[in-house]
Amino acid sequence: MDLSKHIDSSHKAFSDWKKVPFADRQKLLLNLAEVLQKNKEKYAENITKEMHKPISQSIAEIEKSAGMIKFYAQAENVLKPEQIKTEFNISEVHYDALGIILGVMPWNFPFWQVLRFAVPAILAGNVIVLKHASICFGSGDEIESAFAEAGFPKYIFQNLKIGHNEIKEILENPLVRGVSLTGSEKAGSEVASLAGKNIKKSILELGGSDAFIVLEDSDYEKAAKDGPLAKLSNTGQICNAAKRFIVHEKIEKDFLPLFIKEYNSFQPADPFKMETKLSKMARPDLADELENQYKKALKNGAEVVLALERISESEFRPGIILVKEGNPILQEELFGPLAILMIGKNDEEILRLANDIPFGLGNSIWTKDQKRAQFFIENLVSGTVSINKSTSSDTRLPFGGAKSSGYGVELSLHAIKEFTQIKTVVGNI
């Protein structure tokens, strides 16, 4: 593939697109949301075919994407020049689009991950070239077609069917001004290094090992009901899924039977049936990796609460393991239907367990005591803290991570400014 040809066409499109008024770009976004709603069954079927997500969850992904696009289509213009009071009669802060932004996107949410990065960047006046996961090239094509159907000018969004080797060539091209990657810590490190070497803005949304903390004064029955879905939605293949359930020792015996009963209701079935809650993993090699992590955890002292049972090349009956401090598995992300259970004696110990990992994406704290909740809000190191609810992304609120979970934000009005150049204009006229 002649990448320079695609980049040149994107740059020409950017030259015109950056001059289009904010409100006119929003009208096209409204069209795009309508295209997604109209074609949601077709897009959902493609997602399920590509990466095996249960069809009801694939439909929900398209609907959530359409809702997010509508949010930006109706958003306040946060890119208007800001007036700053100084001794000069002109004193402003402007936000200029950067240009071509590369998206390196994963397979677990083939539409949502792409659109949540691309839409605010395009609204800011940038143009996008996408390198999608190889198993989701079809979704990339569908998204490109959706932009065309919505009336966007050609080359505002391009899906490039390329491998990881081509990322270097793209980031070395001076016309490309930034990159957004959602993926593993390893992939993020490599792409950020390339971006830094070539002086390009980068945003990374990486892995997580989110804590789901259940204190003894909480509505632990609700937590036991919500927790399994927080872990096993999308077959556990979500960066901000609840991956470690840290339970206060005083309610362990009451909480665990309720949790296990609900957890066991998630069993692999035909992903094209609407009632299916759990499917197979996206690829066999990912199932291999999860099984190896399970064995590693057990070898280092973890106890089986519910066995992880492999029933086919990519399918598991979901498992739970009881893990203690010091187990090396805590330094890794479990991306699949395997949950970690930990028991804590008091708030200080539970906080230490929650924070003692490389990641910091999102944490959930369950308590009825406002003072205790505040203790965790102030001391948990993560991009999100959810209170008496599962961690989830919300279009209206910024989403991003701390530590090895990445940097920069997606979603909310903040995301519109992520790929802009702040320009100071000052003087007298």
pLDDT number for residue 208: 96
Q: Residue 170 pLDDT more than 90?
A: yes
pLDDT one-digit tens code per residue, 350-393: 999 999 999 999 999 999 999 999 999 999 999 999 999 999 99
Query: pLDDT above 90 covers what percent of the chain?
Result: 100
CATH of residue 289's domain is 3.40.309.10
Give the N- to C-terminal CA distance of the chain in Å, as an integer.
Answer: 50
Say what the pLDDT of residue 99 is: 98
Contact 227, 257 (CB under 8 A): no
In whole angstroms, what separates CA 202 from the centre of its chain?
A: 15
* Dihedral sign of CA atoms 25, 27, 30, 32 in order: negative
For residue 399, tell me if it sits in a domain. Answer: no
- The answer to whether position 400 is within a domain reads no
Q: What is the CB neighbour count within 10 angstroms for residue 228? A: 25
Nearest to 184 by CA among 27, 10, 361, 338: 361
Residues 243 and 322 both lie in one domain: yes
Claim to verify: residue 382 and residue 413 sit in the same structural domain:
no
Mean pLDDT over residues 144-159, rounded? 98
| pLDDT at residue 171, rounded to an integer | 97
Q: CATH code at 67?
A: 3.40.605.10
Q: Which residues are catalytic?
A: 205, 239
* Model confidence at 1: pLDDT above 90: no
Is the same domain home to 253 and 330?
yes
Partners of 422 in the β-ladder: 95
CB 359 within 8 A of CB 208: yes
What's this model's pTM, rounded to 2 decimal places? 0.97
Q: Are 194 and 291 in the same domain?
A: no
CB-based burial, 12-36: b 16+ in 10 Å, e otherwise: ebbeebeeeebeebbebbebbbbbb
**Domain annotation covers residue 265:** yes
210 bridge partner residues = 242
The whole-angstrom separation of Cα 344 and Cα 325 is 10
Let me know whether 100 and 156 are in one domain.
yes
Q: What is the mean pLDDT of the chain?
A: 98
Is 252 among the domain residues?
yes
CB contact at 8 A, 295 and 338: no
Q: How many domains, the chain?
A: 2
Report pLDDT digits (tens) over 260-295: 999 999 999 999 999 999 999 999 999 999 999 999
- Same-domain status, 382 and 422: no
d(CA 226, CA 228): 6
Which residues constitute the domain of residue 354? 210-394
321-362 pLDDT, tens digit per residue, is: 999 999 999 999 999 999 999 999 999 999 999 999 999 999
The tokens describing 150, both together, are 């919505």
| Confidence band for 237, pLDDT divided at 50, 70 and 90 | very high
The C-alpha torsion from 352 through 358 and 362 to 368, rounded to 10°, is -10
pLDDT of residue 244: 98
Same domain (yes/no): 171, 220: no
Question: In terms of Cα–Cα distance, which of 168, 148, 172 is closest to 159?
Answer: 148
Q: Are 77 and 23 in contact (CB under 8 A)?
A: yes
